[in-house]
Amino acid sequence: MYDNVGPQPGVPRPPNAAADPFGNTFYGASSGFIRGGLGAYGERILGSSSEYVQSNISRYFSDPQYYFQVNDQYVKNKLKVVLFPFLHRGHWTRISEPVGGRLSYKPPIYDINAPDLYIPFMAFGTYLVLAGLSLGLHGKFSPEALNWLFAKGVVGWFFQFCLLKLTLSTLGSAEAPFLDMVAYAGYTFTGLSLAVFGRIFWSYAYYFLLPWTCLGMGIFLVKTLKRVLFAGYDSTRHHYLLLFIALAQFPLLIWLGNISLNWLF
């Protein structure tokens, strides 16, 4: 009555059909071919993706450890170059060397013109400490005020970074590594810390040190960008952009040097 009746007791089961050896062979071969093909294709995709990611990381971010390869001698010489750029008699170009079949720049410990992140971070921390001390001497210090100054410093650093980045984009030059731009922008706090330090001991010293700092930072950026980032560009537009960067240091450093709880002045 029913076609799907299961096996009954006492009734012998029919023998299984013989396995098809050719079917198993073709199945094994096809499955191995598919697995091998997909594996090779996947490795090629993952490999190309990995190379693409690594190339873009090295292009934009470089190696963070590179920027902290410094020693005492480098720090002293670099501070002289940043604070007194017009006294620097050496060249401004970076030193390159062949590494792995391609040219690479020597780390800061071997090249005074190489950017580093040790000095910018130390200068930024010094700026916050001196700014907090200045507020404390005037009876205005509080944790909220220090947080406010920290945010103001980060905004100033970011503005300097955007200024350099926008200038590069305007010229249509090759992309500079991201950390290079961060380092060059962070040197702003080197002279600024000196100006704030002088203001603590003598208020009138600030009005002498701050213009000096603005002028020195402008010259440093012009010399560095002209020889390192803007190499190969020698046009009127190029010179105007460099002049704009130098002049922009005055309002930026005056704004950051104003130790108050206001965003403007």
pLDDT band, very low/low/confident/very high, at 241 (cuts 50, 70, 90): confident
Q: Does 54 have pLDDT greater than 70?
A: no
CB within 8 Å of 224: residues ≥ 6 apart: 92, 113, 184
Q: Please classify residue 105 by burial: count the beta carbons closer than 10 Å to its beta carbon, then call 0-12 exposed, 13-18 middle and 19+ buried.
A: buried
**Residue 2 token pair:** 């029913």
Q: What is the pLDDT of residue 217?
A: 95
- Greater confidence (163 vs 170) lies with 163
Q: What is the pLDDT of residue 263?
A: 61
CA distances 48 to 57, 78, 104, 216, 224, Å, are: 14, 40, 23, 46, 35
- Greater confidence (66 vs 4) lies with 66
- Greater confidence (49 vs 148) lies with 148
Distance of CA 45 to the CA centre of its chain: 28
DSSP conformation class of 98? E
Q: What is the pLDDT of residues 148-167, one digit of tens each?
A: 899 999 999 999 999 988 88
DSSP string, 180-213: HHHHHHHTHHHHHHHHHHHHHH-HHHHHHHHHHH
pLDDT band, very low/low/confident/very high, at 75 (cuts 50, 70, 90): very high
Mean pLDDT of 127-150: 89
Cβ–Cβ < 8 Å for 130, 197:
yes
Q: What is the pLDDT of residue 167?
A: 82
Report pTM. Answer: 0.74
Mean pLDDT of 31-42: 50
Percentage of the chain exceeding pLDDT 90: 42
Mean pLDDT of 126-155: 90
CA distances 4 to 7, 8, 12, 107, 151, Å, are: 9, 12, 17, 80, 78
Q: What is the largest CA-CA distance in the chain?
A: 115
- What average pLDDT does the chain have? 78
Report residue 11: phi and psi, to 5°.
-100, 120
Q: What is the pLDDT of residue 173?
A: 59
Q: What is the pLDDT of residues 173-224, one digit of tens each?
A: 556 789 999 999 999 999 999 999 998 888 888 889 999 999 999 999 988 8
Q: What is the pLDDT of residue 174?
A: 56
